[in-house]
Structure 1
Amino acid sequence: MKLHLDPDRLFPTDPATRDIARGLYESVAQLPVISPHGHVAPSLLLDDEPFSDPADLFITYDHYVTRMLHAAGVDLATLGVGRSGPSDPRETWRTFASHWHLYAGTASGYWLSHELSTLFGIELEPSAETADAVYDQIAARLGDPAYRPRALFERFGIEVLATTDDPMDDLAVHAALAADPSFSGRVLPTFRPDAYLDPTAPGFTERIERLAEANGTAPDDFAGYLAALEARRAHFIAHGAVSADHGVREPYTVDLTDDEASALFRRALAGELDAAGAREFSGNMLLRMAGMSARDGLVMTVHPGVFRNHSSSTFERLGPDTGHDIPVTTTYTANVRPLLEKHGLEPGLHLVLFGIDETIYSREVAPLAGFYPSVFIGAPWWFLDAPDAILRFRAAVTETAGFYRGSGFIDDTRAFLSIPARHDMARRLDSAFLARLVREGRVSLGAAERIAVDLVDAIPRKVFKL
Structure 2
Amino acid sequence: MNPLIHPDRLFPPDPATRAVARSLFAEVEHLPIVSPHGHTDPRWYAQNAPFPDPAQLFVVPDHYVFRMLYSRGVPLEALGVPRVDGGAVETDGRAIWRLFCGHYHLFRGTPTRMWLDHAFATLFGFEEPLSRDNADATYDRIAQALTTEAFRPRALFERFRIETIATTEGALDDLAHHRAIRDSGWTGRVITTYRPDAVVDPEFEGFADNLVRFGEITRCDIGTFAGYLEAHRVRRAFFREHGATATDHGHPSAATADLSPVEAERLYARVRNGGAGPQEAELFRAQMLTEMARLSLEDGMVMQIHPGSWRNHNAPLFARFGRDKGADIPRATDYVGALKPLLDRFGNERDLTIILFTLDETAYSRELAPLAGHYPALRLGPPWWFFDSPEGMRRFREATTETAGIYNTVGFNDDTRAFPSIPARHDVARRVDCAWLATLVTSHRLAEDEAREVAIDLAYRLPKEAYKL
**CA-CA distance at 1:86 after TM superposition:** 3.8
Instruction: Return the alpha-carbon distance in structure 2 between the equivalents of residues 430 and 10 of structure 1.
Output: 10
Any idea what the Cα deviations from partners look like across 1:272-314, whole Å, max 9, x if unmatched? 1121111111111111100101111110000011111111111
Instruction: Return the alpha-carbon distance in structure 2 between the equivalents of residues 218 and 301 of structure 1.
Output: 27
Letter in 2 for 1:23: S
Q: Quick one: which of 435, 438, 441 aligns to 1:438?
A: 441
Letter in 2 for 1:283: A
**CA-CA distance at 1:100 after TM superposition:** 1.2
* Residue equivalent to 1:235: 238
SS in 2 for 1:82: coil
* Residue equivalent to 2:347: 344
Letter in 2 for 1:241: A
**CA-CA distance at 1:268 after TM superposition:** 1.3
* Residue equivalent to 2:63: 63
Question: Does 1:145 find its partner at 2:131?
Answer: no
Show structure 1 runs of 4+ deviating over 2 A.
82-86, 213-219
Instruction: Return the alpha-carbon distance in structure 2 between the equivalents of residues 317 and 215 of structure 1.
Output: 32
* Residue equivalent to 1:106: 110
Any idea what the Cα deviations from partners look like across 1:227-253, whole Å, max 9, x if unmatched? 111111111112211000000100100
Instruction: Return the alpha-carbon distance in structure 2 between the equivalents of residues 43 and 130 of structure 1.
Output: 32
**CA-CA distance at 1:219 after TM superposition:** 3.4
After superposition, residues 274-423 of structure 1 pair within 5 angstroms as 274-423=277-426
Aligned 8 A contact 1:409 1:423 in 2: yes
Instruction: Return the alpha-carbon distance in structure 1 between the equivalents of residues 265 and 381 of structure 2.
Output: 32
Letter in 1 for 2:113: G
Aligned 8 A contact 2:61 2:417 in 1: yes
Q: Quick one: which of 147, 155, 159 aligns to 1:155?
A: 159
Per the normalisation by structure 1, the TM-score is 0.98
Aligned 8 A contact 1:17 1:435 in 2: yes
SS in 2 for 1:283: helix
**CA-CA distance at 1:101 after TM superposition:** 1.1
SS in 2 for 1:352: strand
Per the normalisation by structure 2, the TM-score is 0.97
Instruction: Return the alpha-carbon distance in structure 1 between the equivalents of residues 3 and 62 of structure 2.
Output: 21
SS in 2 for 1:456: helix
Letter in 2 for 1:53: D
Q: Quick one: which of 268, 271, 280 aligns to 2:271?
A: 268
**CA-CA distance at 1:3 after TM superposition:** 5.0
**CA-CA distance at 1:325 after TM superposition:** 0.9
**CA-CA distance at 1:129 after TM superposition:** 0.9
Letter in 1 for 2:31: L
Aligned 8 A contact 1:256 1:284 in 2: yes
**CA-CA distance at 1:214 after TM superposition:** 2.8
* Residue equivalent to 2:170: 166
Aligned 8 A contact 1:294 1:347 in 2: no
* Residue equivalent to 2:80: 80
How many residue pairs get matched?
A: 464
Gaps of 5+ in 2: none
Letter in 2 for 1:447: E
Instruction: Return the alpha-carbon distance in structure 2 between the equivalents of residues 319 and 170 of structure 1.
Output: 21
Letter in 2 for 1:202: E
User: Alpha carbons of 1:78 and 1:54: their partners in 2 closer, same or farther (altered >3 Å)?
Assistant: same
* Residue equivalent to 2:31: 31
